[in-house]
Structure formats: C-alpha cells, structure tokens
C-alpha cells in the first residue's frame, strides 16, 4: 500500500512547488460527499474539489452518461467533426441563460479559458480593449485572467509583465470599509484619470466572490454596473465559475440580483467532475469573433458534454436549487450556534447565498480583525477530524463550505460536528 508520506516525498521531488496543495494526503476513492485517502482514512468532503462537485463525486447518473459516451467516442476535436452532446448542451444552456434570448454558447476546458475567451468575445464585439475588474476577484492563472485577478500574492508575484488595459476598482466589503458608493466613485475616477468609457470593452465581476471570501456583490452595485454598461456601450460579464450551477440556490448567482448580464462564464460544477467550461452570451455579441478565432483542441470534450447534460438533469430531478437554499439556511444556523459557544475560536461574518456559505476567523470576539493563522489551524484540525475544508478571503481569514448539494442530512450533520470540534479551543 502507498503511504501518504511516501507519496508526499515523491510529489515534492517530481512536481514544482508552484502548485500548492491544501492537504498532505492523497486520494484513493470517493463517493458523493465522502473521500478516502490511500491509507483508508475517510473524509467528509466540504471542499467539493473547489466547487466542482455540486452533484457529488461519481454521481451514478453522470457516470452512466459518461460511460455511454466513452463507448462511442472520446474525442474528435469539435472543429474537425462536431457532435451532438456539444450542440445539445449549448441549446439547453441557451434556454437557461439569465438574460433575454437569443443566446449562444461556446465551450472550453478550464475556468480561466472561459473568462479569457469572454474578454476576447467582448473585445471583438465592441472593438474596444480595456477591461474593468474588482479587487479580491479571481478569474484564473493564465496571463490575461491573472491580470484580471485582483490579488497580487500568490497569483501575480514574479509573473510580470501583465497584459495592459486591465483596471481594478474596489469590491465593496462593508466590514473592511468599502461601500458600493466607493466602488462606483472609483469607476468614475478611472473614467476621468485613466481610460475613457468609450475604450472599455467589459466590466467583469463575480456575483459572489469565490477565492475573495464568498462576498456577494450587493444588488445596488450590480444594478449600477448594468446602468454604467448601458450608458457607455460596455458589456457586463459575470464570472459564475464558482458561484454557478445551483451552488447559490439558482443556476446562476446573478439571478438573485435582478440584473441581466451580456456574458456569463461557467466551469467547475458544470460537468460534475469532468473538465468543461463555457461562455453563454447574447447571440449578437457571441457571433462577433471570426471563424477560427475561438475554440481549442480539447474544448467542449464530448465526454464532459455528456456529463454536463446529466448534471442538468440531476439538478432538476433532485431539486438541487431548493436543496441548496435549505442547506444554506441550516448551515448558517448551525454556525451561529457554534459561534455563540464561549469555548470556540472567535468567529464573525457568517454569511451565504444559498449553499455558498462562509465565515471568518477573527482575532477576538466582536472584532473584525482577520486571523488567517486561526483559519489555517482550523482547516488542519478539520483534516485530522476527517473533514476536508477550504479557506479563502483576502487575508486567508475565511472558511468556505462547498459541500456537494447531494449530501444527505446525516452526513452533513456529521460534517458540521467535525467542524465544530475543529473550531473548539484546545483545553
Ligand atoms: C470565479 C472563478 N473564475 C475563474 C476561475 C479559474 O478556473 P480554473 O482554475 O478552472 O482555470 C476560478 C477558479 O477557482 C474561479 O473561482
């Protein structure tokens, strides 16, 4: 049997440190919301492969659809010989788009590819170059998406020069002293100081920041962005790579906000564990790029498209939108109970949109001073307890919960019990 320690030593020797890992254990097998390491230890999975597994590990319906596709063909390159699963998935997503039809959809492989291509499409459609993004936002690790990502460490350090024409404005987080008004003022300053609105192709925003700390964009901000875009011919891109696919109780988080974007990027839970990403946008905008300007050898893999079709069925049949809302409410209630105990580490800012739930660790009760060290302690204790847990946030101060929405109540309860233990002060 392989041991975690042996594999860790081999990993360190063979793989660069630039790809970090949250845990020193190695996966052996997984089922729905449980995962076992190579030494047979079981973990409840509150990380969901960073939001990829809203439908759980190896959902039987998704596995069946994938197996059926594997038996037919695994790759042609869509540009060489197209196939129905891609077309059918595009049709279904077009019908579900969070804006007025007609829509069109194109597929890629990673979240970064989707966000990068959304910008290419916006540039082609507007004939403009500049992009406005937000501090704390995360859009990927390719050159363009890294430039749009609003966090220097660890994403940008050592990788300059960054592509030009990307501008950042502050994302509003009330307890860090930034309001919606501050964000809008910053856009106004930007238009005066750095770039005229007529040169801006797109504003890109995560409706709920993922890596940035599970902060939902206030409705007033989203509505003001829509207005600024409409007044200036700018396209609004919502990056739903992490917040999409039922996580927040809607297929797309922007549906909570009463705003229609022009382009939506998606990935992660779109294909239930298979690599697939996509951009759905207004048909006129999506058709702006020249034939051959968009795509990729593996983009829209038939196996991943078959999986994604099954994901859409599972979301509907298992009522995962409703489940996300109910789970979110329950998790927030349990977290509030844990926070109220006087023998737990100081917690603050319990929040969530549906099942996209997080809270912060702070230096003392009642304070909002972030405590990233405490967060690291909690995630490592949780691992010892048999719970996979991820942090996030500008200061690494937040614990985020991305548990599969298919988890049953008993296992969710057990997982929250492990989290409670990890949060309890040592005697
Ligand atoms: C909102 C958002 N956009 C883009 C990405 C990049 O996705 P990928 O890592 O698949 O390139 C992520 C990944 O976490 C994300 O959360």
Atom of ligand 1 nearest to the CA of 210: 16
Tell me the C-alpha distance between 216 and 257, whole Å.
Answer: 10
The predicted model gives 113-120 an average pLDDT of 98
The answer to whether residues 50 and 89 belong to one domain is no
Take atom 16 of ligand 1 and give the residue whose Cα is closest.
Answer: 242
The answer to whether residues 114 and 256 belong to one domain is yes
The answer to whether residues 40 and 140 belong to one domain is no
- Residues having CB closer than 6 A to ligand 1 are 50, 110-112, 115, 138-140, 206, 210-211, 239, 241-242, 267
Rounded to the nearest angstrom, the distance between the alpha carbon of 266 and the centre of ligand 1 is 9
In a domain, 67, yes or no: no
The predicted model gives 388-402 an average pLDDT of 97
pLDDT score of 2: 87
Q: Structure pTM?
A: 0.98
pLDDT tens-digit map of 361-391? 999 999 999 999 999 999 999 999 999 999 9
In the predicted structure, residue 1 carries a pLDDT above the cut 90: no
The answer to whether residues 308 and 341 belong to one domain is no
Among residues 274, 297, 317, the one where a domain terminates is 317
Rounded to the nearest angstrom, the distance between the alpha carbon of 223 and the centre of ligand 1 is 24
Atom of ligand 1 nearest to the CA of 209: 1
Among residues 317, 341, 374, the one where a domain terminates is 317
Instruction: Dump the DSSP string for 227-272.
Output: HHHHHHTPEEEEE-TTTTTTTTSSSSGGGGTT---SEEEE-GGGGT
How many Cα atoms within 13 Å fall on the side-chain side of residue 28? 13
Decide if 386 contacts 43 (C-beta within 8 A): yes
pLDDT score of 427: 65
Atom of ligand 1 nearest to the CA of 110: 10
In the predicted structure, residue 404 carries a pLDDT above the cut 90: yes
Rounded to the nearest angstrom, the distance between the alpha carbon of 277 and the centre of ligand 1 is 10
Among residues 258, 292, 317, the one where a domain terminates is 317
Atom of ligand 1 nearest to the CA of 140: 6
In a domain, 35, yes or no: yes
The answer to whether residues 135 and 275 belong to one domain is yes
The answer to whether residues 103 and 117 belong to one domain is yes
Tell me the C-alpha distance between 59 and 48, whole Å.
Answer: 13
pLDDT score of 117: 98
Rounded to the nearest angstrom, the distance between the alpha carbon of 152 and the centre of ligand 1 is 16
Q: Is 232 left (phi over 0), alpha (psi -120 to 50) or beta?
A: alpha
Q: What percent of the chain has pLDDT over 70?
A: 100
Instruction: Dump the DSSP string for 111-157.
Output: HHHHHHHHHHHHHHHHS--EEEEETT----SSHHHHHHSS--TTTTT
The answer to whether residues 102 and 207 belong to one domain is yes
In the predicted structure, residue 22 carries a pLDDT above the cut 90: no
The predicted model gives 262-272 an average pLDDT of 98
Q: Residue 347 sits in which domain range?
A: 4-58+319-423
Q: Which of 52, 150, 213, 241 to mutate to test the pocket of ligand 1 (most atoms within 8 A of CB)?
A: 241
Phi first, then psi, for residue 16 (nearest 5°) are -65, 155
The answer to whether residues 334 and 255 belong to one domain is no
Take atom 3 of ligand 1 and give the residue whose Cα is closest.
Answer: 139
In the predicted structure, residue 331 carries a pLDDT above the cut 90: yes
Rounded to the nearest angstrom, the distance between the alpha carbon of 64 and the centre of ligand 1 is 27
pLDDT score of 350: 98
Q: Which of 50, 111, 116 to mutate to test the pocket of ligand 1 (most atoms within 8 A of CB)?
A: 111
Rounded to the nearest angstrom, the distance between the alpha carbon of 19 and the centre of ligand 1 is 15
| Domain count along the chain | 2
The answer to whether residues 129 and 209 belong to one domain is yes
Rounded to the nearest angstrom, the distance between the alpha carbon of 71 and the centre of ligand 1 is 30
In a domain, 186, yes or no: yes
The answer to whether residues 323 and 231 belong to one domain is no
Q: What is the CATH number of the domain that holds 351?
A: 3.90.1150.10
The answer to whether residues 97 and 168 belong to one domain is yes
Strands 130-134 and 200-205: parallel
In a domain, 63, yes or no: no
Q: Which of 48, 54, 118, 140 to mutate to test the pocket of ligand 1 (most atoms within 8 A of CB)?
A: 140
């Amino acid at each position: 049997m392989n041991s975690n320690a042996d594999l860790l030593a081999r990993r360190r020797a063979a793989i660069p440190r630039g790809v970090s890992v949250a845990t020193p254990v190695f996966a052996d097998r997984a089922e729905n919301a449980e995962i076992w390491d190579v030494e047979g230890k079981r973990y409840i999975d509150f990380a969901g492969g960073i939001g990829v597994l809203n439908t759980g590990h190896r959902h039987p319906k998704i596995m069946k659809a994938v197996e059926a596709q594997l038996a037919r063909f695994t790759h042609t390159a869509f540009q060489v010989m197209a196939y129905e699963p891609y077309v059918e998935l595009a049709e279904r997503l077009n019908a579900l788009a969070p804006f007025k039809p007609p829509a069109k959809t194109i597929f890629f492989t990673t979240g970064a590819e989707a966000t990068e291509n959304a910008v290419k499409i916006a540039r082609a459609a507007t004939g403009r170059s500049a992009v406005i993004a937000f501090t704390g936002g995360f859009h990927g690790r390719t050159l363009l998406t890294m430039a749009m990502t609003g966090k220097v460490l660890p994403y940008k350090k050592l990788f300059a020069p960054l592509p030009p024409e990307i501008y950042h404005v502050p994302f509003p987080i009330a307890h860090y002293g930034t309001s919606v008004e501050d964000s809008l003022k910053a856009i106004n300053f930007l238009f005066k100081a750095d770039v005229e609105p007529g040169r801006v192709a797109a504003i890109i925003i995560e409706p709920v920041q993922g890596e940035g700390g599970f902060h939902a964009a206030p409705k007033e901000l989203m509505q003001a962005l829509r207005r600024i875009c409409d007044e200036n011919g700018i396209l609004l891109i919502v990056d739903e790579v992490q917040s999409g696919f039922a996580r927040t109780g809607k297929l797309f988080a922007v549906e909570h906000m009463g705003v229609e974007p022009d382009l939506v990027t998606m990935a992660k839970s779109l294909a239930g564990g298979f690599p697939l990403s996509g951009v759905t946008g207004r048909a006129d905008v999506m058709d702006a790029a020249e034939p051959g300007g968009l795509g990729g050898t593996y983009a829209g893999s038939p196996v991943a498209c078959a999986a994604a079709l099954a994901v859409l069925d599972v979301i509907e049949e298992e009522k995962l939108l409703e489940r996300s809302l109910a789970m979110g409410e329950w998790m927030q209630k349990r977290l509030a109970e844990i926070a109220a105990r006087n023998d737990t580490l100081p917690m603050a800012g319990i929040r969530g949109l549906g099942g996209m739930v997080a809270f912060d660790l702070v230096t003392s009760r009642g304070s909002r001073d972030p405590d990233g060290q405490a967060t690291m302690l909690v995630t490592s204790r949780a691992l010892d307890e048999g719970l996979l847990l991820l942090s996030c946030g500008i200061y690494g101060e937040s614990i985020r919960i991305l548990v599969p929405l298919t988890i049953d109540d008993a296992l969710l309860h057990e997982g929250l019990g492990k989290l409670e233990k990890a949060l309890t002060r040592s005697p």
